[in-house]
Amino acid sequence: MSNKLVVFTVILIVAGACNLKSSQRQNWSAEDMAKRQTIMMQEALQLTEEQRSKIERINLKFADQFKKLRDNTQGDREKMRILRDDLRDAKYKELEAVLSTEQFEKYIVLEEERAKEMRNGHRGERGDR
């Protein structure tokens, strides 16, 4: 009987920890998301200080718009996908104006890899590596 209780307790603790991590990630502010994106881009693309400043503003602008989109289109997944793709394309245009050709190409590759990881269920693990 005590073995079952121990197993049950461990399962509850693990499930609670997973749920907490998931809920914390979903409640990030637009500012937190923009800062995280900017740091990742700074490290991956070796941005100049001028680029970093511009990228940070772009990331904040679009993080805020993405957050509003998620909050306002809860039920309609197809509509959200279309609007999200439009926002992403607009963000790419602004980033392309700030980044060099090589930096932008590398950024697109990184974004494709991130999207692939998310489709494969590896959400939020980038910072844990």
Report the alpha-carbon distance of residue 46 to residue 51 in Å, rounded. Answer: 9
- 121 belongs to a structural domain: yes
Q: Single out the residue of 81, 88, 98, 90 nearest to residue 41, CA to CA.
A: 98
- What is the predicted pLDDT for the residue at 129? 44
The predicted model scores a pTM of: 0.69
The number of distinct structural domains making up the chain is 1
Decide if 16 is inside a domain.
no
Domain assignment of residue 55, given as a range: 29-128
| Intervals of the chain under pLDDT 70 | 1-12, 14-26, 122-129
Residue 5 included in any domain: no
Per the CB < 8 A criterion, the answer to whether 2 and 20 are in contact is no
CB 96 within 8 A of CB 104: yes
Is 118 among the domain residues?
yes
Contact call for residues 86 and 57 (beta carbons, < 8 A): no
Q: 17 in a domain, yes or no?
A: no
- What pLDDT, on a 0 to 100 scale, did the predictor assign at position 96? 96
